[in-house]
Structure formats: structure tokens, C-alpha cells
Structure 1
Amino acid sequence: MATAPLHTAPSTIMQRGSGLLPGIVLCAAVTFAALTAQRIEVALTGRAWLEALVLAILIGTAVRTAWSPAERWQAGIHFSAKTLLELAVAMLGATISLGAIVGAGAPLVAGIVAAVAISITASFTLGRLFGLPRKLAMLIACGNAICGNSAIAAVAPVIDAESDDVAASIAFTAVLGVAVVLLLPLIAHVLGLGQHGGGALAGLTVYAVPQVLAAAAPLGVAAVQLGTLVKLVRVLMLGPVVMTLSLIMGRRHGAERAPVASHSIASITRFLPWFILAFLALAAARSLGLLPEVAVAGAGQLAGLLTIVSMAALGLGVDLRSVAAAGPRVTAVVTLSLVILGAVALVVIRLAGIA
């Protein structure tokens, strides 16, 4: 009797794998369509106005609207939306080097940290005042304050966000992200900011690194260089923010079971998801020079691909009626949050003495 599990384990694994396959293949097909659409977009306009990550959500949502996948598809869709996303977040750690902080300078780094903290707090408060659910408000706050889609994707599994909330927050921040890229050079000119000031403004407000390059390029090479550096330091805030949320969620879920928590390392790691621990470990290894560049590049590319697959899965689980119902409130919160972030960014630029 004791040896029965050894005989059943392989068949059980095969059954689970075959059960996941249909949904994973569906998500992969949506991902392929999104990547193809992005290539066509670049070929026609010279720029990816909507990245594959956003397109995957839109295509997945369109498929879900036209066709409701049966139960046999659901296991693979859920696996792609959760497990693959967690794996992508973990692998992102290999692309983060803490050395970027040293090169940015203490005053600017302190300003970036303050800007992220103030923006998250203000955005979350706005979301709650506008009646948004707590998780949706947090997704929008982190997306605006840190790095848009990537931050939303990283925070979502930590706070157990619903797919509708993830899709809504990404969709609206994506639209405004494109608007910021287009308007930022004009805003920098109107405010009298030079290349360094305009680049810092781009790094502090624009969501994705490629978008920072697009927004800062019209201002000059110096703007692109400083904007990219500021943006990378801002992205580094994702680790501490996600870790903090993990601890908060862990305490909330475990409060009844463990009313008195120890401050030991074991107690802390108990509340941290495996992928956050992996993220931090890989970031430390990258910072110490333990990872070869080929591994870093490969991890970044694979993380990006897995994130797109996960977003396709999220799109396949979206009810458009729920997203539409949240539309006006989400739009207002995202817009006001972006205005607050811009105001805080200008204060940081002035205090740091960036011209």
C-alpha cells in the first residue's frame, strides 16, 4: 500500500499536464496574435503605440466576448494567469542591478523614493474616495507610481486581484501612458525645462522604459540618458513595494492563526510568496555580478514573453460589462493620479536642482 503513490504519481502528473494544455495553447495563440499585431503596428507607424502586453489583453478580451471557453480550457487559462505570471516576476529580478542607485546620487534617489510613496498613497486614497474596490485602487496606484503594466502585473498575484480589475487598470493606464508620451515634450517646453529636467520628468512620470525613450528623445540625448536612469531607479521600487504588500496581505490572512508574529527571518519569509523571494535573490545575484550577461538577457526576454502570455490569460477571463461599469471612475482616478505624480515629479526636480 505504501508504494501506491509512486505508481500513481506519473499518471497524475500527466493528467494535470494534459488538463492544462488546452488553456495554455489558447493563451499562446492569443500571445502570438498580439506579437504579430505589434510587429504590424511598428511596420506601419514606426512605433508600437500599443505594446504586445496590452494587445494581448485586448485580443483575449475580444475572444472572451465572442466566445465563452468551456471548462476544459479553464485550468490552463488559470495556470497561465497566475503561475506563469509569478514565474515572470521572479525572473525580472535577474534584470535588476542595485548599482543603478549608486550612480543616480542620494538627493535624486531620495526624491524618487518619496515620489513613488506619495503617489501610491495619494492614488490609493483617490481610488477609495471614488468608490473603487480596494484591490483595483491599489493596482492603479502601483501602476501609476512605478512602471505601469509591469507593476500591475507584479502586484496582482500578491493581492489576489481579480482578472477584471487587472484588465481595467492596465487598459486605462495604457491609454493615458500613450497620451503622456505624446504630450511630455510639449509640457517640458512649456515649463521651461532643459534636457536634464525634461528627461527627469519623463523618468518620473512615464510608465515603461521604452516609452521613456520615446518621450525624452525629442528633448535630446541627455534627456534620454537621465530619463532612462531615473526610470530604472523608479522600477527598482517595485521590489520593496511588492514585498511590503506581501507582508501586509500575509498578516491580514494569517492574523487569526498567528496573532503574535515574530520578527525573525523565518516569520518574515512565511508571508512572502516564493516568486518575491526568487526576485530578491536574483536581483542580489545580478548586483554582485554572479549572473552572466547572456543569462540576464535571456531572463529578461523570457520574463517579458511569459508576462504577455499571462496578460492573454487575464484577457480571456475578462467580463467586458464589469470593465465598462468601472470605466468612468477608473478614468477619473487614473487621470488625477497622473496629475499628482506629475506635480510631485516637478517638486523633486526643483529640489534636486535639475535644470
Structure 2
Amino acid sequence: MIQALQPSLRLLPGIALCIGIALAAHLLEAAERQAFRHPWLDTLVLAILLGAALRTGWEPGERWRPGLRFSAGPLLETAIVLLGASLDLRLVLAAGPALPLGIAAVVLLSLLASYGAGRILGLPHRMAVLVAAGNAICGNSAIAAVAPIIGAGAREVASAIAFTAVLGVGLVLGLPLLAPALGLSAQGYGMLAGMTVYAVPQVLAATAPFGSLSMQAGTLVKLLRVLMLGPLVLALSLLARRLRPPAPGEAAGRRPAGYMPWFIIGFLLLALLNALSLVPQAALAPLRLAAGLLTGIAMAALGLGVDLRALGRVGVRVTAAAAASLLVLIGLSLGAIRLLGLA
């Protein structure tokens, strides 16, 4: 019995360490909320930064590594499945065809432009994909969902999240200052925030100064934008053979074209079940809570895999690519709002 439990017991130290870091990140976000009413850095970003800060001064030994690998692997994949409960495909029908199609066009063009900017600035292929996905859709969640599909390492994931988070905070602070010069109504400004700001809490923070109409418009557009994560992960999964090299010991060509990881299938299935009202309402909140908790633990594990001193050597290029991508996204979003007559 003890021998059968040994593999599981080996995971405990690393998982416990990640849980501690995730809990500290949650407490810091609560302190932000108490001080500023809205958190500028959410739990996921804080978990990455705390883990990376700890890793910079201390390298986890063999005792911790099995749990860290498990947290950054199966736990993260399970969290991605549970994220499907946060998506409601019925929002597309309720908003009418023009707005979702406009958002989809902005996301697609932003993905292509962001990826191109990253490659021009010398980012590796996988890093450019991560920055593009995080910028175009929903920041941390998109990066976390895309990373396993393309085989991105912990350093690449942490780099993309860290620098995207910094720019995201800057956008929340700066976008309201630009509003008078843009000549947008409260609703139009809310839509611009929903199309450009990365996280839902940050959308609320960016739109709060302009009233409830702006907040409602921003939240709706943001949720519609998050729906684009499903088609993105599906498309990347279908291209997985080209985006991700075979695993060690896996024969080239053995994996069939269109290979799709189990967690992406689970993500799409849960989103579909939710849209068909087949997921009990009482289960939605626990599923979303579990997704957030597991993602926070996984982000702590990813942070522990990154030495910030090494991260600094690639920071300029990543930051430049993320900044260029953000400017493109703002321009595309303004164009779509004016084209649709929503300004």
C-alpha cells in the first residue's frame, strides 16, 4: 500500500509549494481590491511573479520537482478544460451578428499582425504565438491555453504573461486618459476597452469612470472576445504537427495530422454543453472557481521555472513585440467601432 502511494506522495511537496504561492497571490489581489477597489494585477499574474521572484533567489531541488512538473502539466490542462464553463456561446446570438463578426475580424487581424511584429523583432516562433494570443484575446488565459498546444516552455510562458501584464496595467491607466481625444460615447469607449484590455477585472477598472453603460458594453464585448479562444485553440491544435516538435521517443510522422490534445476537446465540449444548458446552473460557479484555483497553482509552478535574471536578457524584445501588438489592436478596434457605427 505504501509503495503504491509513493508516486503520489512525491508530488505533495511541489504541489504544496505552488498552493502556498497561489494563496499569497490571492491575498495580494484582495489587498489591491481593498486599497484601489479594482485589482491592477490579478492572481494569475501575481502567482507567476511571486514564483519567479522565489526562483531567482532559490532553485528547487529534486524533492520539489515532481510536484512542480505535475502542477505545470496535468493540473494546468485540467484547468483549461474547466475554463469551458466560463464561456456561454449564447452571448453571440444575443448580441446580433455584426458585433461578434467585427470582434472576430479584429481578433484575427490582431493575431496575424502581432505574430508578424514578433517575428520581425526577432522573437522565436513559439514566443511570437504566445504574445499574439495573449494580446488578441484574453491575456493570461489565452497564453496558458495555447502554451501546451505549441510546446512552449515555462520561461516562454512566464515571459509572455509577465510583459503582457505590465502593458495591460499601463493600458488600464492610460486608456481613460485617451477617451476625450478619441471622441467616443460612453458605450463606444466601453466597447474599445472590451476589445483591447486583457482581463475582465481590468475592463471594469478601465470603464468605471464612464458609468454603468460603459461598464456593461465593455464586459459584453470582452466576453465575446473571450469566445474567440475556442476557435483559436482548435485551429492551433489542427496545426500541432507543424507548431510542436515530436516528443522524445515519438517517431516523426507517428502523430496523425490534426492531432488535438485531450484538454482542448474537453474545453470545447464543456463550452458546448454549457451553451445547450446541459451543465447544471449549480455546478457552474464551482467549476469556474476550480478553474481559477488550478490555474493559479499552475501559474505558480510556471513562475518557479523561470529565473528573472535570465528573463531580463530577452525582456526588451518581448516588451517591444507586446507593445507593437497592443498599438495594432487599439487601431483595429477603433476602426471596427467606427465602421460598425458604434462610436
Match of 2:206 in 1: 215
- 1:156-171 to structure 2, matched below 5 A, reads 156-171=147-162
Q: Identity rate of aligned residues, in percent? A: 52
Contact 1:132 1:329 in 2 (8 A): yes
1:91 partner SS: helix
Query: Would you say 1:33 and 2:33 are equivalent positions?
Result: no
Give yes or no for the alignment of 1:188 onto 2:179. Answer: yes
1:194 and 1:223 mapped to 2: Cα distance?
9
> What residue is the counterpart of 2:137 in the other structure?
146
Partners in 2 of 1:69 and 1:155 — Cα distance? 26
Please give the secondary structure, in 2, of the residue aligned with 1:71: coil
Alignment of 1:82-161 (within 5 A): 82-161=73-152
Match of 2:291 in 1: 303
Query: Is the Cα contact below 8 Å between 1:108 and 1:348 reproduced in 2?
Result: no
- Asked if the contact 2:56–2:309 (Cα under 8 Å) also holds between the matched residues in 1, the reply is no
Deviations 1:171-214 (A, max 9, x none): 11111111111122222221100011101101100001111111
Amino acid at match of 2:315: G
Note if 1:177 corresponds to 2:168: yes
Q: CA RMSD in A?
A: 1.7
Q: Which letter maps to 1:248? A: L
Query: Alpha-carbon deviation of 1:323?
Result: 1.0
Equivalent position of 1:6 in the other structure: none
Aligned pair partner of 1:257 in 253, 258, 264: 253
Q: Distance in 1 between matches of 2:187 and 2:276?
A: 30
Instruction: Flag the structure with larger Rg.
Output: 1
Q: How many residues align?
A: 338
User: Structure 1: how far apart are the matches of 2:28 and 2:173?
Assistant: 21
1:308-349: per-residue Cα shift (whole Å, max 9, x none)? 100100111102232101111111111110000000001110
One of 252, 256, 272 as aligned partner of 1:284: 272
Once the two structures are superposed, residues 93-131 of structure 1 have per-residue CA deviations (whole angstroms, 9 ceiling, x without a partner) of 112111011122212111111111111111111111111
User: In the alignment, what sits opposite 2:43?
Assistant: 52
Deviation at 1:41, TM superposition (A): 2.4
Separation in structure 2 between the aligned mates of residue 97 and residue 107 of structure 1, nearest angstrom? 18
Summarize the Cα distance change of 1:324–1:246 in structure 2 as closer, same or farther, 3 Å threshold: same
When normalised by structure 1's length, the TM-score is 0.91
Equivalent position SS for 1:27: helix
What residue number does 1:323 align with?
311
* Runs of 4+ more than 3 Å apart: 10-13, 250-256
Q: Does 1:352 align with 2:343?
A: no
Contact kept, 8 Å, 2:11 with 2:66, in 1: the verdict is yes
Matched, 1:339 2:327: yes
Q: Structure 1 residue aligned with 2:223, among 232, 235, 238?
A: 232
Aligned equivalents of 1:11, 1:245: Cα separation in 2: 42
Any stretches of 5+ residues in structure 2 without a counterpart? none
Corresponding residue number in structure 1 for 2:61: 70
C-alpha distance in structure 2 between counterparts of 1:198 and 1:336, whole Å? 21
Q: Structure 1 residue 47: deviation in Å?
A: 2.7
1:32-89 CA distance string (max 9 Å, x none): 1111222222223333121111111111111111111111211100110111111111
Counterparts of 1:28 and 1:318, CA distance in 2: 17
Superposition deviation, residue 258 in structure 1: 5.6
Q: Is the 8 A contact 2:38 2:201 kept in 1?
A: no
Q: Which runs of 5+ in 1 are unaligned?
A: 1-9, 262-266
Q: Where in structure 2 are the equivalents of 1:235-250 lying within 5 Å? A: 235-250=226-241
State the TM-score, normalized to the length of structure 2.
0.94
CA distance in structure 1 between the aligned counterparts of 2:319 and 2:105, rounded to whole angstroms: 25
1:150 partner amino acid = S
CA distance in 1, matches of 2:230, 2:205: 25
